[in-house]
Chain A
Amino acid sequence: NAGVTQTPKFRILKIGQSMTLQCTQDMNHNYMYWYRQDPGMGLKLIYYSVGAGITDKGEVPNGYNVSRSTTEDFPLRLELAAPSQTSVYFCASSYPLIRGTEAFFGQGTRLTVV
């Protein structure tokens, strides 16, 4: 099983450029998430989705956009890259249990904006 797949793994962007971080999962999970991880900080939620066609802002959504046209895919778009968006980005998916959810994470995308 592939699980959660993110691409690319590494990327260097110039200020003002745009890019899309791809995320796909093959587990038929309704819930999907984008987090960013900065040094010395806990992961922060950027956007999440509870199903195809439904997205919502997390804690740090500014500068990002998402879409969820299918259950499998949840791309994250950076329109005008800024140095503050240098970070490691993780996509995750989960499914609900009787209590709590089972979470699966991608391998991460290390993005540097110069």
Chain B
Amino acid sequence: KNEVEQSPQNLTAQEGEFITINCSYSVGISALHWLQQHPGGGIVSLFMLSSGKKKHGRLIATINIQEKHSSLHITASHPRDSAVYICAVEDSGGGADGLTFGKGTHLIIQP
């Protein structure tokens, strides 16, 4: 079974800072997901990656399959980016049997 580790667990930064959240996993995967969860809210999918890099607005996600590592970057961070960011992986057998999740990174952006 895959083990998913995220770092840092908690991160507090000032508005405008460049943010990086890291995710590593132990076994080969078919895809990696970055998810966002606001306090008391649901979970929203930000990215699904199987290789390379994706960008959406101020968010960038990268993955290195050989090193079993992914990063989520936030440029020009804003207080509305405050949330828990969760990394999750699909095992190489396919996603039908669900995702394996990291514990999440709790991000606070102060004005």
Residues of A within 8 A of B (CB): 31, 33, 35, 40-45, 48, 50, 56, 58, 90, 92, 94, 96-97, 99-108
Contact = CB atoms under 8 A, between A and B. Distances in A.
Contacts of B31: 97, 99-101
B111 interface: no
A90 B35 CA distance: 13
Interface stretch (B13-21, B70-78, B98-106): B98-106
B104 to A, nearest CB: 7
Interface residues of B, number: 27
B26 interface: no
Given A100-B95, A101-B31, 10 more contacts: A43-B99, A50-B96, A96-B96, A99-B30, A99-B31, A99-B50, A100-B30, A104-B45, A105-B44, A106-B42
Contacts of A108: 41-43
A101 B90 contact: yes
Given A42-B102, A42-B103, A105 B45 contact: yes
Nearest to A90: B43
A31 B90 CA distance: 13
Given A48-B97, A48-B98, A96-B94, A103 B33 contact: yes
A96 B95 contact: yes
Contacts of B109: none
A103 B45 contact: yes
Interface of B: 4, 30-31, 33, 35, 41-45, 48-50, 86, 88, 90, 94-104
B104 A42 contact: yes
Contacts of A35: 98, 101
A20 B96 CA distance: 23
Contact of B50 (A45, A48, A56, A100): A100
Contacts of B104: 42
B98 A58 contact: yes
